[in-house]
Amino acid sequence: MGSIQKVTAEAIARPVSTSDLNEEYEKKSLKRRIREIVWDSLDRSPEERRMIAKLDFFILTWASLAYFSKNLNTNNLSNAYVSGMKEELPVIGNEYQTFTTMWTIGYVLSQIPSQLVCTRVRLSVWCPTWELIWVLVTFATAAVKTSHQLYACRFFVGLAEGTFYPAVHTVLGAWYTKQELAKRSCIFFATAFIGSMFSGYLQAALHTGMNGVHGLSGWRWLFIFDGVITLPMALWAYYALPDLPSTTKVKWLKPEEKEFFLRRMKKAGRDLEEPVTIAGLKRVVGKWHFWVYTTYYTFFICSENIGSYMNLWLKSLNKYTVPQVNTYPTVTNAVTIITTLTYGWTSDALQIRAPIIYFSLVVCFFAAMNLAIWDGVPFGLKWASFYLTGFAQGSGPIFFTMVNEQCAGDSLERKFILGTTNSIAYAFNAWIPLITYNTNYAPRFLVGNTTTVALIVGAAITITVAVRLQKRDAMLTHFRLGQAPKPMDHDQVEGILMKVRKLLWVNELMYASTIAFSKLSFLSLYWRIFKHTVIRIPIRLLIIACSIWFIIRTFAILFQCWPVPYIWDKNIKGGTCKLNISQFLFGTVLTHCLMDIAILVLPVFPVVKMHLSWQQKVGIIGLFASGIIVVSCSILVLIQVIMYKPVDANYTLSLVNFTVWGNAEVNLAIFCCKSSPSLSFYSGSEFSFLSQAVYPYCGQYFAELFPKRDGARALNRGNLNVVLGSLR
């Protein structure tokens, strides 16, 4: 007990930061890294390794063996169909698809309510009770006499089973860290396909050895066997299931071990459990996670149907025996088992999620294309394509690992999305196969296989959207312009701020240049249009004033400090800054704001005096009125300057609002120049190209701020206002 307390104290006493974890990661030897890849707990202390092994034993034995039997049951329906059930009941027309649909309806209806109930009822009571119901209905399936009786059984089997899958991922996400979660999720998921593969061999054995025993067909013994092996697992769950770290009452964990796991998960970012409320549900539904994750998983699940009809294809060839028809498709399950475990280990070792999902989708897309084309595809390639569909399903637990991690800070959101993604996906899967994979069109399935290709493309698009939004959230959460990321020490923060100050300095030069050349572009247009009017003198004065403004502002920005590098590098000894930033910004912004108003009003006088109808006058004035939006931004910039309060520690933060509106003004000014006719002399559009060509130079400094490259990419496109706006 003393050793455990020691581990707990060491794990808890010192706060963990990102820099600490990175430093620890870098110091690990190659031998330790290999041990960690083989099994993550091998790199831990003996006490912690023993506690994690205990957790693995109780959670994974219950979850894996129960999932094995449930998928054995699901596949037994398909094997029973081709092993005598079709003729004995009989099953007519599309009734086989209806069996699957009834199961799916029950499965869909139970998941979301179950996940919400689990916020108030202990999992160790809720889940085992539904497993016992599942066992009873499975026994009843062996006694059905008609298709309609089987409809009812499949519905209640799905209803009982729907509580299981999201609950398991809820438990796994609550007890395991980022370095451990993907492997456990994939081990749990792989056992389902061991059950699927075992079903074919089991049906082949029962068809040969048990067919007719006690007057029961071999396919009926399949469901009896299912119930027999699941009953012990249901009873075991009452003892083995540990609930959640904050609510666990299991006897196989000591009090100090419970405390250790609770604090360990708090450090990993897991939030305390939150009961379901209307306000909480509104918060969850208001986030993008619910919509994007659910959309992706719906595409993903509906695209999995393509690999489940290989036995119908083999049966249609009329050259394979019943045992062969049952066993040959099990190779797909073997492929899924191998790829699932490979995905899990790779995902944890490299700490990647999305690339594995992309890989699985690419392989499945290739297989689906072959099966969609069908005619002209060699027999061997068709066979291989069915097997290649096994690459896709193993990415499912990787996706749920991603969901667990992204929603770790909101326990209600995590539970809700784990339920809704599965439930809504299977809600669509309840009717899409009825339309696309009608067994009357087996084994060609032209509509079904073509639809699957489209679904895979949709899945790839939505997971890309999810990844982009995750990167955006990470950037907004951990990095804000002018604010020191908390895990970093003073030297790291100062290094980043130095590069940001240099970026802002270059940005100020670009701002002044673009604004000045935009004004000169409009004034040159006026000069060409209004050749014989009284505003020629004001145009000249404004051109001179604009040029002087540009020279003074540029000179002041360049030499606001001496030596010049002291502007961004405050470590230079003897450096000084004589320029009063507040007064400088107010004077120059007020001046150019007044010039904008003058340029906007200037064409009104000659146009009014023209001998035109009032409609034509309004039209001509409207041609120049686009400058109103630029003037509006100029006024907003002036307001930000008036509100500007410099803070040495957060210099860049204090300039954020000014920079955001300033760059909005720049882009609008360029837009107005490009949209106005006959701009020559000094072209704002031409200069906009020059200024944007300088932005990639700035981007190398901006990229230093982020572990991802989103900021630099946006900057390289010249959208600095978008970048800074996202950092507010």
- Mean pLDDT by runs of 10 across the 728 residues of the chain is 38 38 48 72 82 90 86 75 80 80 88 88 91 92 89 92 90 87 88 71 71 80 85 91 87 89 80 77 88 93 83 83 80 88 89 92 92 87 90 90 86 87 86 79 82 92 92 67 52 73 81 83 80 81 89 88 84 82 82 84 73 63 64 78 63 66 76 54 39 37 38 38 37
Residue 419 lies in a domain: yes
561 neighbors 576 (Cβ within 8 angstroms): yes
* CA–CA gap between residue 511 and residue 488 (Å, rounded): 31
* Residues 470 and 494 both lie in one domain: no
Final residue belonging to a domain, choices 447, 478, 509: 478
Instruction: Report residue 426 as tokens.
Output: 């299977």
* Residues 132 and 255 both lie in one domain: yes
296 neighbors 399 (Cβ within 8 angstroms): yes
Final residue belonging to a domain, choices 432, 454, 478: 478
137 neighbors 106 (Cβ within 8 angstroms): no
Q: What φ, ψ does residue 326 adopt, rounded to 5°?
A: -80, -35
Residue 692: per-residue pLDDT? 40
* Residues 387 and 498 both lie in one domain: no
Residue 239: per-residue pLDDT? 92
Q: Where are the alpha helices (DSSP H) in 577-709?
A: 581-601, 604-609, 614-624, 627-642, 651-654, 656-675, 684-702
* Residues 439 and 559 both lie in one domain: no
509 neighbors 557 (Cβ within 8 angstroms): yes
* CA–CA gap between residue 307 and residue 334 (Å, rounded): 13
Residue 1 lies in a domain: no
Residue 484 lies in a domain: no
* Residues 473 and 494 both lie in one domain: no
Residue 60: exposed, middle, or buried by beta-carbon count in 10 A (0-12, 13-18, 19+)? middle
Residue 461: per-residue pLDDT? 93
* CA–CA gap between residue 465 and residue 289 (Å, rounded): 11
Residue 644 lies in a domain: yes
Final residue belonging to a domain, choices 444, 478, 512: 478
* Residues 686 and 707 both lie in one domain: yes
* Residues 466 and 495 both lie in one domain: no
Domain extent for 514: 490-726
* Residues 45 and 166 both lie in one domain: yes
What CA–CA distances, in Å, run from 623 to 308, 425, 672, 710? 64, 52, 10, 37
Residue 351 lies in a domain: yes
Instruction: Report residue 496 as tokens.
Output: 């980043």
Domain count, the chain: 2
Residue 293: per-residue pLDDT? 94
* Residues 572 and 443 both lie in one domain: no
Beta-bridge partners for 80: none
Residue 2 lies in a domain: no
Nearest to 118 by CA among 169, 52, 67, 70: 169
Give the CATH number, domain containing residue 189: 1.20.1250.20
* Residues 270 and 358 both lie in one domain: yes
DSSP 330-388: HHHHHHHHHHHHHHHHHHHHHT-SHHHHHHHHHHHHHHHHHHHH-TT--HHHHHHHHHH
What CA–CA distances, in Å, run from 370 to 391, 396, 455? 15, 23, 15
* Residues 405 and 370 both lie in one domain: yes
Residue 485 lies in a domain: no
Residue 4 lies in a domain: no
* Residues 18 and 83 both lie in one domain: yes
**243 Rama sector, left if φ>0, alpha if ψ -120 to 50, beta otherwise:** left
Q: Tell me the pTM.
A: 0.60
Residues 6+ apart with CB under 8 A from 624: 522, 600, 603, 676
